[in-house]
Each structure stands twice: as structure tokens, then as C-alpha cells.
Structure 1
Amino acid sequence: MNIPHSDFPRVIVVGGGFGGVTLSRKLTKQNFQVVLIDHHNYHNFQPLMYQVATSGLEPDSIAFPLRGLVNDGTNFIFRLAEVESVEPVMKTLKTSIGEVTFDYLVIATGTKTNFFGNKVLEETSLQMKSVPQALNIRSYMLQNLEKATLTNDAEEQKKLMRIVLSGAGPTGVELAGAFAEFKKGVLANDYPDLNPEHMEIHLLDGTSRVLASMSEKASQKAEKYLKELGVNIHLNVMVKSYNEETVLTNTDLKIKALTFIWSAGVIGNPIEGIREQSVDQKSQRFLVDRMNRVEGYENIFAIGDIALMKTPEFPQGHPQVAQPAIQQGKLLVKNFKRILHDQPLKTFSYFDKGSMATIGRNKAVADVKSFTLGGFLAWIIWLAVHLYFLVGVRNRLIVFLNWVYNYFNFDRAARLIIRPYQKKEISDK
């Protein structure tokens, strides 16, 4: 890998998510050479990806080029590559474009979809962990609506128009709400020859409530809002299999649908080469100390979703959302400065700013400390928070204008099949 020589210590950051971007931006202002490596050349604002999947936004409005993170690129280098493994003793990172040495390594690789070992679901379901996958959902939904106009068979139309989501966490809830808004505001205008009632949205979850990670009150409000939008909620129901046409569950419930989206969980996305004792085998997250050092290593750190920091307040680790990653990235910058001056490192303390989810137009829920907000006020807060944390002034402006347009026109401007989606054939293995 061709990396220019520098007199400064080299910090390699693997992953351009919230943690990696926060760290890279701020660390380049210090006496370090920062090398950011990612298999995409853009930062993806995941909290708004569901709007790409449901035709609310174009992907370039929630993505920011990683090469544009800093104005002065003297100490900042980006390389587009797949990371294969790390050799801690040799301080070497192996990638798809060659090897590179480091003084310090920061792993911010985030998570990947967890299918809990079910290979059938992995092969047959749609997912939403990346921009291309979000576009797949958008294209496939619109393609099926076009096919529905070609038949007069009501049952075939229902199968083409029905959408099933497994997993009622924030991703599943927000997707379900957005699909219901699409049905309410777009379907009748774009497809006057289709019966809107044939577009059913089913949300399944194996637990007893939606948004199980939030408060009981927030869950109740979210369930109420979803039902008002016409979403069919099935709790204590787990998906066992899907054969491209029928969703099979652990109950008597069977749903015929061509669109099945898996949003039921995530698992860590670790790098090979780290000793087994430093990886939590269940979550596949790196065990880190209070300074985000991977256990057993002095010069290897992990931040964000891939890091499992057990504290009395968070015995199972911090929530796998943006704020812990951002806050850990900021503290690590300060600790790298302390390393340069041989000063003791500061420990991480998470400031919980709350959690929120949007369900649809004028409807959201938010847990802020001991308070739970719902409805229009929570929705306004949700809009403001997400605009604030978007990377890039251009992206903020585009998203804001899109939201204003959609709000007053009950429209989704991005309902385009730019890249038709073709499902892969199921493996016989």
C-alpha cells in the first residue's frame, strides 16, 4: 500500500462510521498521520437510510465522501480497501491492496446483520445495512408495484404489494412507518389502478413489545402510532424461514409476500488476527478497557459498535447507536494527545443523551433521561437532531428541503427504479 512517509506517529483507523469519522477529523489537527481505510469511499448516515429505502431521500443526501472530511489533507490519507487481518506483533495491517504498518490501530468496523445462523433467511431476505441494500429495497418495492398493475388477480396483487418486516427495533419500526406513509400519501396518486388496501405492512418481533430497547411508555406510544397508520403488528412471533413467497413463523402465522425484510438484529464485524480472549464470542465485539484499548494490547483500540466496554452502568456494553461512537472518538483524540506527552489516559464515561425513533408524519417517540416524549414534539426534536448530526452543509440543506417538500405535498420525490433489483437464486447447499 502506497502511504507517504511521515515523521509523525501513524494511526490507522478502520471504518468510516460515526466513530471513525469523528476520530479522523479531529486527530488530523494533532501531530499524527491519520490513515482512514474503508471498503466504501463515503460515510453513510445510517439513521436516515430507511428514508432512502422508502423513496423519501436519494442516497447522495445521506452520504459524504470520506476524502472530503478535512480541508487540509497534509496529515490525512484515505484508502479504499477491504481489511483482511492484523498482525499485532509486527504492527501490520493486511488489506486487499497491500500491507501497511502502524504505530496505533483504531478499529471502528461497526456491525453486520445477524441472522442467528439461519442461512436460508440470510439468502432470501432483504437487509438494510448499507446504501446499496437500501436501494435494493426501494427498487424491489417499486418493481413489485409495477408488476401488480399487470394482473387482475387480487391475491397475486396482495402478494406483490404486501411487505413483511422481521424485527421491531428502531430500524423495523421506522421502515414500517415509512412504508405506511408511502401507502397513504403516494400509492393512490401513482397507482390509481391498484387498491391501496392490498398494500399490507406486517411487523413481526419475537419479544412482547416494539422498541424493546426503549422505555415501556415509548413502546406503547410507538405501537399506538403504528396501528393508527395501519401497520399489522405481530408480537412474540419469530420468523423461522422464508421461501421467496411465504414467511413461516414459530406460530400458525404464515404470510404470503414477495417483499421480506430482515431487521431483527446485528452482530459485531471484527477483524481477524486479534486474540480470541479479546473477543466476546456471543456478540463478536472486541472487549475494551475504559480507555477503549482492546484487552491485551497497548496500541490497538476499538470504538463504537464493535467495542464492548463493560461498566457498572452498562454491564452489557453501551448501546450500539451513534452517540457512544462519537463520544468515544472524541475522547480517544484527547488520549492520543496525552500519549504524545506521556500523560495518563482518561477513562470513558458515556453521557446518555436519550434515544428516539420516528414512526411517521408528526409522530415519534423519545426517551430523555426519565421523561418520555411522543407525537409532534418528539418528531420535531427527531428532525432537529438528525439534521444536526448529518455530515456536510450540503447534505443538511438537501435533506431539509426534501423534508419540507414531502411534508407539504404528501409526496416522495425519490421513487425511481434507477437500478432494478434481481434476487439471487437460493443455494441448494
Structure 2
Amino acid sequence: MEIPGRLVTQQRVVIVGAGFAGLTLAKKLSPAYFQVVLIDKHNYHQFQPLLYQVATAGLEPNSISFPLRKVFQKKKNVFIRIAEVSAVYPKDKKIATSTGELDYDFLVLAHGAATNYFGMQDIAQNAFSMKSVSEALLLRNTLLQNYEQALIAGNKKEKAALLNIVIVGGGPTGVELAGAIAEMKAQILPRDYPELNFNDMNIHLIEAAPRLLNGMSERSAVVVKSYLQALRVKVHTGISVKSYDGYSVALSNNTTLYSYCMIWAAGVKGNALKGVPAGSVLPDHSIEVDEFNRLKGHQHIFALGDAARMPTKLSSRGYPQVAPVAVQQAVQLAANFKRLLLQKEMKPFRYKDKGSMAIVGRNRAVAEMAGIKLRGFVAWMAWLMVHLMSIIGVKNRLLILVNWMWQYITYDQSLRLIIRSSERKSKSTTNKISNNEKNSNDVNAHRSLVGV
């Protein structure tokens, strides 16, 4: 991998991943002291907290995505390379990528996390996840395509399976997704598909823990559950999913649900990377770091955000895997890098928790900030403002604001498009439908879903 020469005063910092942590660190590092190489497999930064709105046709992908090269147009010390990192060589201070090897003075692993299926291969193969824009688009296509196929379904059971949605995971992602789909069911889908009876559509939210939103207070969990139930979402707590074959969902209470769309939002794990020192890699592939976000025993390798696990006195699992933690870690590490060059002691990272939020739908949200617990319209407005101001770029903020205002006034979403790529992808539910019912041949003929 070719990178232009650097100034004598510059140290090369290679950052793997352009998520919240990687992007923030690259922006904060001074050009006087650092040459930055930012590596990601995509040429854009995606705002993950709003992926569920892309999946439910509330926002277009370009509203929550921002080109990396535009972000760094004025940062002449930042070099962007679109590649995938395959290995780390700590002794040689090099990494191997899909476009060649690259040496570093400091290496920062901020390559995020992957969906954790907890070893259940059938679920990994058949369920939908939502970690990227492409996965959100695939889910949007699937939801809309299922309604189209329900119009021509051969029998009632098949039609119900096409309409039903099963969401696994009662954290903010699962809660927000369930609320968004429930509002579509109530306000939009009956107008788009008057031939279908959406009373036959069931939205199930399944959480293995005794309650929803384990990262928030019991009161907020109770409020959110009441919001979901008001939207006719069927909330199942204390129950886990045992298996899913693409059609039937087997639960731990020995009941079975039927749906061609199960969305897995139940957990994350680290992305395995060859060569990362074994002593720092935890069983879930996340990377254990010290209080300076540094790998133990390695002075020049650091990890941030969802890729890192920093144990604390309160929890061996460390800080929550949320964007504010990643951003604060990146800001602190940028300052510590400068301290290292000036031969000063680094300062340990301490997370400043500014609160948690979750939105269920129009005027329905909960927020906990500085000991204050909000609910309803006030919490909903707070959620909107915090997320809007976190988006990169004035244009993107305006696009999102206009979409939100339009939806609030009209109870409508104008982005219900099935966008097909030019080639068929392997993600298909044709085989899932076959053999479930004798009269499902017509559905099979039209059921092949297209990936993005």
C-alpha cells in the first residue's frame, strides 16, 4: 500500500475502521505531529443509530451516510484507503490489507463489532441483522417484498407468515425497530395494501432477560413496554429463541411462531483479526485494553469503541458499546498521543455518561439524563435533537429534518421503494417457502428476494 512520505515531525497513525471512534480520532490528530491513514472497507461513515429508519423506509441511506473524503477534504495529513485488514504483525509494526502491507508507528483498531448469533448457525443463516446500510436496505426490501407476496399467497397461514415480524433483542435497537414497524402497520400499510387485513399481522419482540432495556432503569423499561403494547406489539420477556429455519421460530417456552422475517438484534461480538496478540483477545473476539485503550504489553497498539473491552471496577464487561463511549475514547486517545510525543504521562480514560435514550414512535420515548427521567413528548423531542445534531453535515441534517417533519404532519413515509440490484444475490427465501404448504407454488414463483 503506497502512502505519500511524511514530515520528519510526524508519526504515522494507522486507524482501522471509520466508525464513530475512528472518524473522531482521525479528525482530532494534529497535522503537525501525525500522519493519519484511515482504512475502511467502505468509502463512507454511516450513522448506525438511525439504520432502523432506513430499514423501515423512513430515511434514505444517503441521509445517514457521509463520504469520508468529503469529511477530510481540508485535512491534508489524513489519507484514506478503501481496503480490508487481514492481519496484524506487532513485531514488525505492520498490517496486511487487501491492497498490500503498511507500516505504522501507532496502530488503532476501531473496526467495530459484528452480530453475535451465539453459535446458532441456523439463525445466522436465516435471520436478518442490521449492522450496515446494505443490511438495512436488504431488510427494507424484504419487508416491502413480503407485503407484495402476501397479496398472492395461496392460503391464510402462508399470508400470515409473510406479514408477521419477529424481532429478537429488547435493547434500544429492537425497541425502536418494533415501534417503527408497528407505526407502519397502523398508519401506512393499510393504505398501501387495502386488499390485506393487517389485523392478521403480528409483531413479536422477544427478550431473554426479565425486562426490556437492561441499560436503563426499571421505570423506563415499564414505560417502553406500555408504549409497545399500545402499538399492539407482542412483547415476550424471559424467553429466548432456540432455532429458526427461515419459517418457524422455536422459543424456549416450547411455542412456535411463524414468520419469513426474523430480525436479530440480540447481541454483538468483536470482529476477529489475525495477528492481534492472543493475550488481549477475549472469547467473543473483542480486544481487552487497559485504561489508556492500549493492548497490554504492546505500547504501540490501541483499540477503541465496539472493538475494545475496558474492564472497570463496576463491570468486567467494561463500558457499554454505544457511540458516546467510542467518541470520548477517541478524543482522549488523541490527547494521549500528543502527550506521548511530548514525553508526558498519558491520562486514563473515564467515561462521562450523559444519559440514555430510546424511542418507540411518535411522541413516545424515554430518556435518562443527569439523574432526570423523561418520558413521552419531551423525551421524544430530546431524542430527535440529540440524534439530529450528531449527524455529519448540514445537508444531511436538513434531509433528515424534512423527512421527520413530513412524516409527523402526514403520517406518511415517501421512501417505500424496493430497490433491486442488477444481479440476484444468495439471500433468498424461495426455498424457505417451499414445502410449508401444498398450495404455495404461486408464492414460490415470485418469492426470490434481491440483496443490496
TM-score by structure 2 length?
A: 0.91
Q: Which deviates more from structure 2 when the two are superposed, residues 387-396 or residues 414-423?
A: 414-423
Q: Which amino acid aligns with 1:9?
A: Q
1:67 aligned to 2:69?
Answer: yes
Matching residue of 1:344 = 345
Instruction: Report Cα offsets for 1:95-118 as digits up to 9, x if no partner.
Output: 011100000001101110001011
Q: What is the 5 A alignment of 1:198-209?
A: 198-209=200-211
8 A contact 1:86–1:93 mirrored in 2: yes
Matching residue of 1:98 = 100
8 A contact 1:123–1:424 mirrored in 2: no
Q: What is the 5 A alignment of 1:305-384?
A: 305-384=306-385
Q: Which deviates more from structure 2 when the two are superposed, residues 132-141 or residues 248-257?
A: 248-257
Counterpart selection for 1:173 from 168, 175, 197: 175
Question: How far did residue 308 of structure 1 move?
Answer: 1.2
Counterpart selection for 2:46 from 41, 44, 47: 44
Q: What is the 5 A alignment of 1:25-424?
A: 25-151=27-153, 153-281=155-283, 283-419=284-420, 423-424=427-428
Aligned mates of 2:250, 2:324 — CA distance in 1: 36
Instruction: Report Cα offsets for 1:334-361 as digits up to 9, x if no partner.
Output: 1111122111111111100111111111
Aligned mates of 2:179, 2:24 — CA distance in 1: 30
Q: Name the SS of the counterpart of 1:37 in structure 2.
A: strand
Instruction: Report Cα offsets for 1:66-93 as digits up to 9, x if no partner.
Output: 1122232421100001110100010101
Question: How far did residue 384 of structure 1 move?
Answer: 0.5
Identity %: 46
Q: Name the SS of the counterpart of 1:284 in structure 2.
A: coil
TM-score by structure 1 length?
A: 0.96
Aligned mates of 2:300, 2:427 — CA distance in 1: 43
Q: Which amino acid aligns with 1:96?
A: S
8 A contact 1:35–1:76 mirrored in 2: yes
Which runs of at least 4 in structure 1 moved beyond 6 Å after TM superposition?
none
8 A contact 2:127–2:264 mirrored in 1: yes
Q: Name the SS of the counterpart of 1:197 in structure 2.
A: helix
8 A contact 2:31–2:76 mirrored in 1: no
8 A contact 1:20–1:108 mirrored in 2: yes
Question: How far did residue 234 of structure 1 move?
Answer: 1.1
Gaps of 5+ in 2: 433-452
Rate the CA distance shift 1:30–1:315 in 2: closer, same or farther, 3 A.
farther
Gaps of 5+ in 1: none
Aligned mates of 1:207, 1:86 — CA distance in 2: 37
Aligned mates of 1:324, 1:312 — CA distance in 2: 17
Q: Name the SS of the counterpart of 2:194 in structure 1.
A: coil
Question: How far did residue 29 of structure 1 move?
Answer: 4.0
Aligned mates of 1:315, 1:365 — CA distance in 2: 27
Aligned mates of 2:40, 2:30 — CA distance in 1: 17
Aligned mates of 1:31, 1:89 — CA distance in 2: 23
Q: Which deviates more from structure 2 when the two are superposed, residues 10-19 or residues 61-70?
A: 61-70
Question: How far did residue 23 of structure 1 move?
Answer: 0.4
Question: How far did residue 314 of structure 1 move?
Answer: 4.2
Q: Name the SS of the counterpart of 2:22 in structure 1.
A: helix
Q: Name the SS of the counterpart of 1:391 in structure 2.
A: coil
Structure 1 vs Structure 2 CA RMSD: 1.6
Paired residues in the alignment total: 426
Q: Name the SS of the counterpart of 2:130 in structure 1.
A: coil
Question: How far did residue 184 of structure 1 move?
Answer: 1.1
8 A contact 1:28–1:76 mirrored in 2: no
Rate the CA distance shift 1:67–1:144 in 2: closer, same or farther, 3 A.
same
Instruction: Report Cα offsets for 1:308-344 as digits up to 9, x if no partner.
Output: 1122244420110000100011111111111221111
